[in-house]
Amino acid sequence: MESLKQRARNRSSLRKRIRALEQEVQECRRVNLRVAELCDVMMELLLPVAERDEKAITDLLDRYREGVGDPLKSS
C-alpha cells in the first residue's frame, strides 16, 4: 500500500503539472488569436485596391501593432 507521503507528493506533482498545462493552453490561445488577427490583416490587404477599406486596414494594423509592437518604430 502506498504511503500517505507518497500520495501527497503525487498530488502535489499533479497539481503543478496541471498549472503548467493550463499556462500552456492560455499561451496557445493567445497565439491562435494573434494568428487570426494577422489573417484578418492579410485578407484585407489582399483585396483589390478598389475594394479596400483603408480605414478598416488602418484600424486592423493599429490593433495588431498594439499587441505585438511596430517593428518600424522600434529603435
pLDDT tens digit sequence for 49-65: 677 778 888 888 888 78
**pLDDT, tens digit (0-9, with 9 covering 90-100), for 3-16:** 878 888 889 999 99
The confidence score (pLDDT) of residue 75 equals: 44
**pLDDT, tens digit (0-9, with 9 covering 90-100), for 15-28:** 999 999 999 999 99
pLDDT at 70 over 70: no
Mean per-residue pLDDT of the chain: 82
Whole-model pTM? Answer: 0.58
Distances (CA, A) of 8 to 18, 20, 40: 15, 18, 48
Grid coordinates of 6: 507518497
Confidence bin at 38 (pLDDT 50/70/90): confident
Identify which of 65, 61, 12 has the alpha carbon closest to the alpha carbon of residue 41.
61
